[in-house]
Structure 1
Amino acid sequence: MTQWAVHGRRQVYGSPWVELWLDDVDIPGTGRVDHHVLRMPKECANTVVTDPDGRFLLLYRHRFITGRWGWELPAGWVEPGEEPVAAAAREVEEETGWRPGRLAPLTEFDAMAGISTMHFHSFHAAGASWTGEPADRAEASRVEWLAEDEVVRLLAAGEVAEGASLTALSYFLGPHRLAARAGGGR
């Protein structure tokens, strides 16, 4: 078993959103190198929201960084002192205008473990109630409830390209469902 040894680190850039560090690491079989690390001061949360008809609540938006349009789950930062489940509920309502029902943990994952500390908490909400127009109109050009077969088609066609949404939806439709059917899932 090989483990990289960290001999030191220095910050290159920092903001409330992201920090860039240069870590002095010893890679077994390679030697010492400077490795760039993106440290995220906050964790993230997203939510798979379904309704009694089996539809999924998704946002359609443009991401200027990648230059792509695509479907995503409601998501955002977990603020200091805030529980991830509270952040997930807040983000759903702010971005969609729907207040989610009870949120249950779905999965957690490290989005880019080879270079970043970005950590996601994913939840599932079975149901939501309409509260009005989204508070943050800049989040999406459309908010829609989509049938499961349409969500699967979008996933297969690469129209859900944002990594955290792709991960949570795929997990929900795959391992989560299989575990629930077997009686052992969350």
Structure 2
Amino acid sequence: MTQWTVHGTRRIYESEWMSVDLDDVEIPDGERFEHHVLRLPFASTAVVVVRDEHVLLMWRHRFTTDVWGWEIPAGRLEAGETAETAAVRETEEETGYRVRVEPLVTINPLNGLSSHTTHVFTGTDAAKTGEHDPAEAARVEWVPLDEIPGLIRKGLVPCGITLAALTTYLTLTAWSGPPSGPRRAG
């Protein structure tokens, strides 16, 4: 058997945003030790907003890593909120665009250390409803999808959730076409 066994959990820190636990785990060879686990009480959402072979991206700074980069709209679910509702809300709050969403993929960004889940959606039918939130992004732009691989190679998409969402979208649409129809060759 290759599954780890959890014998217990000891909470080290807790806030409304997260908790840090020490889980008493046993690995398949019988070794037992404490493993740090970050637990977030709410899942998050992220949205790859596409229109006319472009994706809506936010240029922003993250103080935690002191890095500037392109990100898709994302945020946590509020209590009682569905992932779909949160995705629409977060996109509009952060970018000033209201979208219709369809599920793309669900990921666990740090599954070796965290129980956190992010539900990623494809956003379509973007309608401008206001301005972007300057606390969320220095600017918001429609970037051609064919420029995304170059931005990734240059290290300009440092956010793991954004990177996973964009590469998943590009991979799946290369095989099946975007939600609005087949992808043009060329």
Displacement after TM superposition at 1:30 (Å) = 5.4
Q: How many residues in Structure 1 have an aligned counterpart in Structure 2? A: 178
CA–CA distance in 2 between the matches of 1:157 and 1:163? 15
- Secondary structure of 1:138 counterpart: coil
Superposed CA RMSD: 1.3
TM-score (structure 2 length as normaliser): 0.91
| Residues 13-58 of structure 1, C-alpha deviations (whole Å, 9 max, x = no match) | 000111000000111225110000000111000000011x211100
1:25-174 to 2 correspondences below 5 Å: 25-29=25-29, 31-51=31-51, 53-100=52-99, 102-134=100-132, 136-174=133-171
Q: Quick check: 1:106–1:176 contact (8 Å CA) kept in 2?
A: no
Give 2:6's aligned residue: 6
Gaps of 5+ in 2: 179-186
TM-score (structure 1 length as normaliser): 0.91
CA–CA distance in 1 between the matches of 2:131 and 2:32? 53
Question: Taking structure 1 as reference, are residues 67 and 5 closer, same or farther at Cα in structure 2, changes over 3 Å only?
Answer: same
Query: Which amino acid in 2 is paired with 1:35?
Result: H
| Residues 128-162 of structure 1, C-alpha deviations (whole Å, 9 max, x = no match) | 0111112x320011111111122221122221110
Query: Which amino acid in 2 is paired with 1:15?
Result: S
Query: Which amino acid in 1 is paired with 2:8?
Result: G
The alignment-based identity, stated in percent, is 47
Q: Quick check: 1:63–1:69 contact (8 Å CA) kept in 2?
A: yes
| Residues 113-132 of structure 1, C-alpha deviations (whole Å, 9 max, x = no match) | 10101101000012301111
Gaps of 5+ in 1: 182-186
Query: Which amino acid in 1 is paired with 2:61?
Result: H
4+ residue runs over 4 A deviation: none
